[in-house]
Amino acid sequence: MLEILDQGPFVTPTLVVALDGWVNAGSAGTLAAEVIAGSDAVPVARFDSDLLYDYRMLRPSIDFQDGVLSSVAWPQLSVTRVAWEGRDILVMTGSEPNWNWQRMCGALVDAARAWGVVEFVGVGGVPWAAPHTRPVTVMTTSTSPDRLTGVHPEGLLRVPGAAVSAFEHAMALAGVATIGFWARVPNYVGAAFPAAALAVAERVGDHLGLDFDTADLAVSAKEQRTQLDDLVAQRADVSAMVEQLEQLYDTSDVVSGEDLAAEIERFLRDQR
């Protein structure tokens, strides 16, 4: 199921996971993972796509050049490695699989043990009633309460599961320390939201003590902020909504499980 391309050895590797799909609102996780991997990442493992994906649900991309079929790009889930300041960061990215999640988790745990992974970091974004005019809040989750920092959900939170969370749970059962960073993405932004990815990448950097190159994300976030401000200014109803969201943001720092579950359920309804 998982083809190992590089056995290591690696230096105190941390495994960062971001999947395109569920809990990746605004592409917050996958864009942040691109920054963390950088341009020098090299492949270390890849999953067998035929065992993970329903190609009718997630179809391969096919290119035609002047009427000639030239290439087929299949959905992939792979792991790359990049060296950062004397340590290795393993970054797993790709489309969230349709099938065989438990087998997939087992295969990753076996590989993580062989690589000597010391920590699992999940990253992504969740839809939230948040304004684009305020700094992006990044929530923390973990399989251990001792590792929670900053804003995190309070009370019971029961939501549809994401593969990245399944990975985290499997890694924790294998004795690997875990943590997750999840940006609150304005639920009215139906596109990539670079400000969220920037916040996640910076939070991961702070956690690991590393300084990732986020300059391009910062530029993209600034440009999108200007575009969103212009669009909001053209509609009085949207402007009023954003003002209400600003008031909520300015008066509440608590994230309850019920509030987060309600936001996710609302997001699911809007996708139907």
Per-residue pLDDT tens digits for 134-150:
999 999 998 888 887 77
Closest CA to 94 of 113, 108, 111: 108
Q: Residue 58: its pLDDT value, please?
A: 94
Beta strands in 85-212 (DSSP E): 87-95, 119-128, 138-141, 153-154, 177-186
Q: List, in order, residues 6 or more apart from 178 with CB less than 8 Å away.
A: 119, 120, 121, 122, 142, 143, 144, 147, 168, 171, 172
CATH for 2-271, options being 3.40.50.2000, 3.30.420.40, 3.40.50.10900, 3.40.50.1110: 3.40.50.10900
Q: In Å, how far from its chain's centre is CA 213? A: 17
The pTM of this model reads 0.88
Model confidence over 147-182: pLDDT tens digits?
A: 877 787 777 777 788 999 999 999 999 999 999 999
Please report, in tens digits, the pLDDT of each residue of the chain (272 residues total): 999 999 989 999 999 999 998 899 999 999 999 999 999 999 999 999 999 999 999 999 999 999 999 999 999 999 999 999 889 999 999 999 999 999 999 999 999 999 999 999 999 999 998 999 999 999 999 888 888 777 877 777 777 889 999 999 999 999 999 999 999 999 889 899 999 999 999 999 999 999 999 999 999 999 999 999 999 999 898 899 998 889 888 887 555 445 544 554 554 455 44
Which 8-state DSSP code applies to residue 114?
H
Helix (H) or strand (E) holding 34: helix 28-37
Domain ranges of the chain: 2-271
